[in-house]
Amino acid sequence: MFDKKGRRTLLAKRKAPGATIETRRAKKSREMEGTLERHSALQFDQLSKFPFDNRPPSNAADSSSELRNELDSADGDGDCGEKGFILSQDFFCTPDYITPDNQNLMSGLDSSKDQSPCPRSPVKLNTVKSKRCRQDSFTEKTSNFTWSSKHRVDNDDTDTDEIMVDKIQANQTERSGYVSQTAVALRSRVMPPPCLKNPYVMNDSDTATDPFGYQRSKCASFLPASFGGDGLSRYLTDFHEIQQIGAGNFSRVFKVLKRIDGCLYAVKYSTRKLYLDSERRKAMMEVQALAALGFHENVVGYYNSWFENEQLYIQLELCDHSLSKKSSLKISEREILVIMHQIAKALQFVHEKGIAHLDVKPDNIYIKNGVCKLGDFGCATRLDQSLPVEEGDARYMPQEILNENYEHLDKVDIFSLGVTVYELIRGSPLAESRNQSLNIKEGKLPLLPGHSLQLQQLLKTMMDRDPTRRPSAREVMEHPMFDRIRG
Ligand SMILES: Nc1ncnc2c1ncn2[C@@H]1O[C@H](COP(=O)(O)OP(=O)(O)OP(=O)(O)O)[C@@H](O)[C@H]1O
Ligand SMILES: [Mg+2]
């Protein structure tokens, strides 16, 4: 839209006779004085006020300032000239369209390499307006750039200047046959969109409500073949990384801000490079399961996935933390019932879709605003055994799985939920001890003082050695014991 508008105004301005570059620049300076400053000040001001997180206001403020610090420090990198250039393009979403072949994003900003041969931008014969940094003005301004007034943004009056400067530059380039590598590198960087406040997110209660809701399953797209082989990182282009929030055996998880919508997400990516097709297919099963499931309030939300640099990236709903944080604390029976009921609901939903999770454990249950969400579908498989079975953490697996009996995969999840709840009640993580886990697998549950017999009885049946005697997820959910937390 911006580009289009620019072209329209360019045509109109071509007819304007007379004015020199200098006078137009002066006029442009006067007209732009203040408007850009006001605009940018407003945007950054809004950014600082934006409650990025779904936490209460005090935390939201922390989160906001945390992000602000991140942004500040990111802006602090590099020299002033580069900063000015990036800020202006960044702000107005205007990637440079004159991009040489074989661009390399991560190198080329080092002016010491300028002596080496460098790729040439294609020379434009019929020059049209392009938003790019002028070589002369760039070097002129590198040392004393400030965001407020030094850097001007193209508006109507600049178009003739642009054309003339473009022509002069094209002639010079043709004559000398040399383009500064710094300039090429700067031009060839495709700038990510800016981080802006989402205008639809009005307050904390709005952010608490999932803006995608039931629509999410529809927009969750599966894009397996987007490789970042061209050197452009979709992750870095689309997201601003804030901090690492988790790590699994095969992955790292980051809290990120999506630049274009201004919302926070979790992005999980595989730590290992997936070179083989078989490895990729296996990794893709997690996103295929998530996409097939669609939305449920007790299942972690899935938005998107892509391959980049031989790694699988998964964009997920951001949660506050995992339940394993709580497994070292004593939790009241009421809290236990809430967790158990919500995960039973998630399992009922998952099982109804013909899927088994096969890795239910505190690590893979996340909390968001007090609501439990089942996550990490890396071991998910089909109940009808039409897909390979890869069991999860052995401490939470029933004996039949270890004996490779896969007839009742839904009941495997029920067993694992029983062990998870038992661990929460104990208040300490399950040891790897063989004896202890053997007892649990035999359905021998020690007495749990301070907890109702009803709960202990239900746990015992959930962890029965015989999978057919374990209740289904629906039966767990509908147990009268949960009347205590209903309504
Ligand atoms: N959507 C999310 N929101 C917040 N934290 C998350 C999210 N997804 C994952 N995490 C954190 O990252 C950790 C690792 O994620 P996950 O379990 O999905 O990785 P994994 O490599 O598949 O794990 P595993 O070692 O169980 O195979 C989780 O235990 C949790 O603490
Ligand atoms: Mg996990």
| Per-residue pLDDT reduced to its tens digit, 173-190 | 444 445 555 554 554 444
> pLDDT (tens digit, 9 = 90+) per residue, 110-142?
433 344 444 454 444 443 343 443 333 333 333
Sign of the C-alpha dihedral, residues 11, 13, 16, 20? negative
Cα–Cα dist 55/318, whole Å:
12
pLDDT attached to residue 461: 96
Residue with CA at minimum distance from ligand 1 atom 11:
246
User: Ligand 1 atom closest to Cα of 286?
Assistant: 22
Per DSSP, what are the bridge partners of residue 304?
315
Q: What is the average per-residue pLDDT within 201-224? A: 42
Pocket of ligand 1 (CB under 6 A): 245-251, 253, 266, 268, 300, 316-319, 322, 363-364, 366, 375-376, 378
pLDDT attached to residue 179: 53
Band (pLDDT 50/70/90 cuts) for residue 57 is very low
Q: Is 381 helix (H, G, I), strand (E, B) or coil?
A: strand
Backbone dihedral angles phi then psi of residue 308, each to the nearest 5 degrees: -155, 130
Residue with CA at minimum distance from ligand 1 atom 28:
246
Backbone dihedral angles phi then psi of residue 417, each to the nearest 5 degrees: -65, -40
> pLDDT (tens digit, 9 = 90+) per residue, 67-116?
344 434 433 333 333 333 334 344 333 344 334 444 443 333 343 334 44
Residue with CA at minimum distance from ligand 1 atom 12:
246
User: Ligand 1 atom closest to Cα of 361?
Assistant: 26
For residue 269, pLDDT over 50 is answered with: yes
Question: From ligand 2's centre to the CA of 322, what distance in Å?
Answer: 9
The active-site residue, picked from 96, 154, 161, 359, is: 359
Determine the residue type at 336.
Answer: I
For residue 267, pLDDT over 70 is answered with: yes
Residue with CA at minimum distance from ligand 1 atom 1:
318
pLDDT attached to residue 183: 52
Per DSSP, what are the bridge partners of residue 366?
322, 373
Percent of the residues in the chain that have a pLDDT greater than 90, as a whole number: 43
More confident site: 54 or 273 = 273
Q: Which residues are annotated as a binding site for ATP?
A: 268
Ligand that comes closest to the CA of residue 367: 1
Question: From ligand 2's centre to the CA of 314, what distance in Å?
Answer: 14
Residue with CA at minimum distance from ligand 1 atom 10:
246
Which of the listed residues 323, 366, 391, 393 should we mutate to test ligand 1's pocket, taking the one with most ligand atoms within 8 A of CB?
Answer: 366
> pLDDT (tens digit, 9 = 90+) per residue, 394-427?
999 999 998 999 999 999 999 999 999 999 998 8
User: Ligand 1 atom closest to Cα of 300?
Assistant: 1
Which of the listed residues 282, 326, 364 should we mutate to test ligand 1's pocket, taking the one with most ligand atoms within 8 A of CB?
Answer: 364
Which of the listed residues 363, 374, 393, 397 should we mutate to test ligand 1's pocket, taking the one with most ligand atoms within 8 A of CB?
Answer: 363
Cα–Cα dist 190/90, whole Å:
9
Structure token pair of residue 296: 């449920």
The pTM of this model reads 0.61
pLDDT attached to residue 453: 94
User: Ligand 1 atom closest to Cα of 251?
Assistant: 21
> Which stretch, 82-96, 203-217, 273-287, has highest mean pLDDT?
273-287
User: Ligand 1 atom closest to Cα of 247?
Assistant: 14
Q: Assess contact for 432 and 425: CB atoms under 8 A.
A: no
One DSSP character per residue, 192-240 reads PPP----TT--SHHHHHS-SSGGGHHHH----TT---TTS--HHHHHEE
Question: From ligand 2's centre to the CA of 278, what distance in Å?
Answer: 21
For residue 215, pLDDT over 50 is answered with: no
Q: Assess contact for 159 and 14: CB atoms under 8 A.
A: yes
Question: Is the interface score ipTM higher than 0.85?
Answer: yes
pLDDT attached to residue 365: 97
Cα–Cα dist 240/115, whole Å:
33
Eight-class DSSP state of 111:
G
pLDDT attached to residue 435: 64
> pLDDT (tens digit, 9 = 90+) per residue, 284-300?
999 999 999 999 999 99
Q: Which residues are annotated as a binding site?
A: 268
Q: Rounded to the nearest 10 degrees, how much is the dihedral formed by the CA atoms of 404, 407, 409, 415?
A: -80
Cα–Cα dist 126/97, whole Å:
15
Question: Is residue 359 flagged as an active site residue?
Answer: yes
Pairing between strand 321-322 and 311-316? Answer: unpaired
Nearest to 51 by CA among 39, 43, 42, 59: 59
Q: Assess contact for 6 and 131: CB atoms under 8 A.
A: yes
Q: What is the CA radius of gyration of the chain?
A: 29
Structure token pair of residue 223: 């894009």
Question: From ligand 1's centre to the CA of 253, what distance in Å?
Answer: 6
Band (pLDDT 50/70/90 cuts) for residue 457 is very high
Question: From ligand 2's centre to the CA of 252, what distance in Å?
Answer: 10
Which of the listed residues 376, 393, 420 should we mutate to test ligand 1's pocket, taking the one with most ligand atoms within 8 A of CB?
Answer: 376
Question: From ligand 2's centre to the CA of 64, what distance in Å?
Answer: 28
Q: Assess contact for 51 and 207: CB atoms under 8 A.
A: yes
pLDDT attached to residue 9: 34
Question: From ligand 2's centre to the CA of 393, what distance in Å?
Answer: 9
Ligand that comes closest to the CA of residue 322: 1
Q: Is 135 helix (H, G, I), strand (E, B) or coil?
A: helix
> Which stretch, 33-42, 205-214, 287-296, 319-328, has highest mean pLDDT?
287-296
